[in-house]
Amino acid sequence: MKKATWILIAAATLALGIVTGNFYAGLETGNRMKSPFGRTEENKITEVVQIIDKLYVDSISIDSIAEAVIPTILSQLDPHSAYIPAADLQVTNDELSGSFGGIGVQFNIQNDTVYVVDVISGGPSELAGLLAGDRIVSVDGLTFVGKTLNNERVMKTLRGERGTKITVGIVRRNTPKILSFTVTRGDIPVKSIDVACMIAPNIGFISVNKFGITTYQEFLNGIAKVRSEGASKLIIDLRGNAGGYLDAAINMLNEFLQEGDLMVYIKGNHYARTDSYANGTGSCQTIPLVVLIDEFSGSASEIFAGAIQDNDRGQIVGRRSFGKGLVQHQVTLKDSSAVRITVARYYTPSGRCIQKPYERGRLSEYDADLWQRYLHGEFYSQDSIRQNDTTVYKTVGGRTVYGGGGIMPDIFVPRDSSGITHYFSELVNAGIIYQFALRYTEQNRARLKACNSWQALESYLESQQLFDLVAAEGAKKNVIGTMEQKRKSRTFIERQLYAYIIRNIFNDEGFFPFLNQNDVTVQRAVELLGGTKQ
């Protein structure tokens, strides 16, 4: 889930490893490295490999040595240069490509079985007859259940070349036998925009989860949608957005800035300074704007927020961003693997480099940065933020801003920890709330779908006393809280549960508006734009 898992994760649930090496901007694919080491006869690495190949006592695969050595070499450079094995490259590129070949389902692994959470409307699985709530138990005649199932294996199995066929065995509720469906893989879109909707009178809300190939066009469609619904002010939510293609961020920025406004510049040892300026054709140059960021907003998200801030074009609300100011270039190798190499740093219009400090050879400390921010209290108190760069930079209007470790918001909004208890964290970590929501949806899908809006579904769920059922489910798995913990966390638990169920029925079009009702950062943005809750 986006929004740094909106559930306001406690210390025990902070999965900070996801930020390691996941942020990149300005990628180009399809380029081949002609000579990775220059003159091979003078390169020590090549020389050692040749000696091993000719003299080593046992037979050994040089390719296997390279697979082990290349990541080690790249890890000595910076936190974001990385090696991508050939087997992983397609999935990695698919994330930003805008589409991939697949069967068109959203799934979750529950009790060692692939559970179909949703079937994409008009997609291959819907055309073949699959339904939300189905469980996939076999693929092409082979059993597809058990402890070895994980998200990576499922995606590699279900995805494939467009036009190819796959036969899945399905267990369906109230159907005694296993059903068989043959699905022809098709083009499955990868959405960059979670939702574009009205959040208050005159205020549109657009949530952007990544910067991919289709992001700009999706964004224009979102702008057109909310404007047609009366939006004259806008909130852009980049929380949890790890970044992506630089061009997508620049194209989006161009919609908001005036001709000649500097958006970003890039330079490196082998990369001449390149400046990007707005061309004055943007459709939203005067619309009041607020941009939301948090500690998981990185790379292209920081470029966007930094340019808006430095040009005094809008207000930045939330918490300090991740601090990834390095630009990568992707080079495809002969065996179809790739290296993603850092070629430059990017700078915001005021001259800030957003990259947080790192020390070569000690990247574990870099990886632990967000954890240290959490322990230091930065997520809950602005006074706890430690700036790595005390250099004073000035916006176009003369305001002071700082660099050296992420974008500092103009208005700080702490995480809402009011309902976080050990009991809540245990329920989340054990997946009890999520799994209960799946089962409840499956068992009551017809009744839930009878609600004609997410608001109607919310009202219905509030009448069902689901908290006690979740608590009972937790007790079965030895998750037992005190009366005080349950009292304190009840609203948080119910909010998360309702959100999952609403998403199962209304997808993101219901999920995000429901969350936004009680999202303190969103509501602060609404207040800044002069709006009130709907």
Q: Which string of DSSP letters, residue by residue, matches 419-487?
A: T--HHHHHHHHTTHHHHHHHHHHHHTHHHHHTSSSHHHHHHHHHTTTHHHHHHHHHHHTT----HHHHH
What is the enclosing helix (H) or strand (E) of 39?
none
**DSSP code, position 416:** -
The candidate with the shortest Cα–Cα distance to 292, out of 209, 178, 201, is: 209
CA distance 245 to 145: 36
What is the enclosing helix (H) or strand (E) of 159?
none
CA distance 292 to 411: 10
Residues 6 or more apart from 407 whose CB is under 8 A from it?
Answer: 293, 297, 302, 305, 306, 309, 316, 320, 321, 348, 354
- Per DSSP, what are the bridge partners of residue 115? 108, 135
> Which tokens in the block code for residue 31?
């380029």
In contact, 367 and 20? CB cutoff 8 Å: yes
Q: Choosing from 324, 356, 410, 489, which is the catalytic residue?
A: 324
- CA distances 341 to 66, 233, 331, Å, are 17, 39, 8
In contact, 303 and 403? CB cutoff 8 Å: no
- Scan for tokens 């657009």, then name that residue: 206
Q: Is 310 a catalytic residue?
A: yes
One-letter amino acid for residue 93 of the chain: N
Q: What is the 3-state secondary structure (H, E, C) of 471-485?
A: HHHHHHCCCCCCHHH
- Per DSSP, what are the bridge partners of residue 106? 118
CA distance 388 to 372: 14
Q: Choosing from 310, 369, 410, 519, which is the catalytic residue?
A: 310
One-letter amino acid for residue 247 of the chain: D
Residues 6 or more apart from 510 whose CB is under 8 A from it?
Answer: 453, 454, 457, 502, 503
Separation of first and last alpha carbons in the chain: 24
Q: Is 324 a catalytic residue?
A: yes
Q: Choosing from 276, 299, 301, 337, which is the catalytic residue?
A: 299
Cβ count near 481 (within 10 Å): 20
Catalytic residue set:
299, 310, 324
